[in-house]
Amino acid sequence: MEDSSLQEIEDLGINVIRALAMDAPMKANSGHQGTAMALAPLAHALFTRVLRYDAADPAWPDRDRFVLSGGHASILLYSMLYLTGQGLELEDLKEFRQWGSRTPGHPEVGHTPGVEVTTGPLGQGFANAVGMAITERFLRNHFGSELCNHHTFVFAGDGDFSEGISHEAASLAGHLGLGRLICVYDDNHITIDGPTELSLTDDAAGRFRAYGWEVVELGETANDVDTLTAALEAAKRDETKPTLLVLRSHIGYPSPSLTDDHAAHGNPFDADEIAATKTVMGLPADEQFWVPPEVLDLYRTAGARGASERAAWQERLDASSHGDDWHKAWSAARPDVAAAALAASAGFEPGSKAATRKASQKVLTSLTTVMPTIIGGAADLTGNTGTAVDSELQSVANGGGRQIYFGVREHAMGAALVGAAHHGGVLPLGGTFLVFSDYMRPAVRLAAMSHARCVFVWTHDSVGVGEDGPTHQPVEHVMSLRAIPNLTVIRPADGKETAGAWAVAVNNDGPTALILSRQDLPVLDSSDAARVAEGAYAVVDVDDPDVILVATGSEVSVCVDAAAELSSDGVATRVVSMPSWELFTKRSEADRSAVLDPSIPTVSVEAGVTLGWERYALVSVGIDRFGASAPGDDVLRHLGITVDNVIASARAALAKSTHRATQSGDN
């Protein structure tokens, strides 16, 4: 094919992308075409000339990663995945944003082949890409460049960089010198409200330079494929720092009426505007989803470009002495690591005391020897949260370090863990105080939505924090985290249950939240690491209980003491430790009833809000207010987390149950 002929087909292909970006939203009567139209040449350059991938195997571990942080422009990604042959068909584009389609409104990892992370909430994808770049560098240093040797590309816009998470993530990436992270900033000067100047006059290039990024201002080159290609390739060659390519684009281009208009952002073009735009591009004005065979051939050829590289990589993996370890690192389940966690429970002797955050550190230390691809750290609280992974620090000088100092960047930490999880090959973890999980919540929600296999370690889990006062004393947090679907929340009662919590986490197919105490807790005689996986079980049992006390975390030992007094006074009492609502809910109704018999009056005890406990309890002991500044034991006592209050509440539940039974009999 002559160069002139190839150029003509490439130009046609770019316009076909733009047309698909208009057709799909119009058919759905919903969607964002403007950004996809403007970035069609950039996507063309990336997918046909730069990106290292094999369309026949979108999950090839050593592929380049591409993240569309502005997930509202999903039709751009879907069009490229279809054209390059990564599993989508033209019919999928026609079902854009419809029930059950493979082309939802925003990209969803695990739902659509070729989508790396779930994006949409702005800034998240950009921060995910930072986690991916950290992971690539770690694995490259750990296994060698013959097995891991790729780049992470991300498209981001004004909305991404307006969100606070982008500042955290960009600062972290610059500090770590993530040279294989390449971001194209789509500087189109448009938001939903109108021109960005209504609310944004930042010098984005200046702030990224201050973060330690290499910044290249490309200017008005959004339609110059050769310049875009050269810029992307040059960024790949500079591995000393992450690169920001600033591209001045024009949203909705080449629409005759709506180029550079904020209406092009979120409102589908009508039929007349689409026809006029197609006419400008020289496409059939009255045809929808038109893809001529020469264009499809061009992109399918590009999609197969990486097949030989993938095959060569597979040969290297098959011959590598690291092969077995590589496969273990990418395995979704690690029973050997779970077994090591359970074995670590033997180190916690009944009668001894340990804060569960400290117990977690002991278990984690033992796991890192079995699983060398556990990576992570904390948001400036490594020692406080028990998240010391290794003495080797992840840094510019040591890309193979497992210990990540995230700094006071909770939100970026959470999103980076999600990106690391979806990159694959590692089990990422991150720690901070439970009260600061609020700063992470958008990332945690996306972790749960996308089944990201990562571990959130949240410590200082109650008003037992003490003197720091209500700003640092979580009250509503545990219950609010339980409200997130697919997030496994575990609040262990002691060191043994903490080991069991880690055994669950390493085999979980999604995110796990470990809720850990600051204060020392007694190791119980009858706690059982293996039974944490059941979600709830009796730590004190009797043949025919009069009342059940159900508790989590630090309150389990309070209930054990209360049960001893109640039983000595003739009230047969079962105590149930319930480390995880989510794991308990997965059991059969019969299994659940055997633990929490609905016919027996039950009292819940948890140092947090009581909202939700009515599911299991007739009476709830909790804290439906904010805390106070005082020594932790004093705060717990003043707010009713005491043996005496639990005993009184148990008697109240018995009286209430008797009253209800009497009323029922009268009726």
In one letter, which amino acid is 475? V
410 assigned to active site: yes
What residue spans of 304-388 are helical by DSSP H? 307-319, 323-329, 335-344, 356-370, 382-385
The DSSP H or E segment spanning 497 is helix 495-507
Rounded Cα–Cα distance for residues 105 and 122 (Å)? 14
In one letter, which amino acid is 345? S
Count the neighbouring beta carbons within 10 Å of the beta carbon of residue 77.
26
Two tokens, residue 601: 């009056």
Rounded Cα–Cα distance for residues 422 and 439 (Å)? 21
CA atoms in the 13 A half-sphere facing the CB of 625: 8
In one letter, which amino acid is 283? L
Peptide bond preceding 545 in cis form (omega within 30 of 0):
no
CB 306 within 8 A of CB 54: yes
Rounded Cα–Cα distance for residues 117 and 560 (Å)? 45
Rounded Cα–Cα distance for residues 22 and 36 (Å)? 9
The DSSP H or E segment spanning 560 is helix 555-568
566 Cβ neighbours under 8 A, 6+ residues apart: 547, 573, 647, 650
Two tokens, residue 409: 């960047």
CB 603 within 8 A of CB 576: no
3-state helix, strand, coil in the chain (%, to 5): 50, 15, 40
CB 153 within 8 A of CB 409: no
CB 431 within 8 A of CB 382: yes
CA atoms in the 13 A half-sphere facing the CB of 620: 16
Rounded Cα–Cα distance for residues 338 and 530 (Å)? 10
Q: How does strand 152-157 pair with strand 181-187?
A: parallel
Two tokens, residue 5: 């002929």
Packed helices 293-303 and 3-28: angle between N→C axes, nearest 10 degrees: 100
Q: How does strand 512-515 pair with strand 214-219?
A: unpaired
Rounded Cα–Cα distance for residues 101 and 112 (Å)? 9
Rounded Cα–Cα distance for residues 294 and 521 (Å)? 70
Cα 274 to Cα 36, 288, 311, distances in angstroms? 14, 10, 42
Q: What is the CA radius of gyration of the chain?
A: 28
Please spell the DSSP secondary structure of 193-213, one letter per residue. SSBGGGT----HHHHHHHHT-
Q: Which of these is catalytic: 410, 534, 555, 582?
A: 410
Catalytic residues, by residue number, are 410
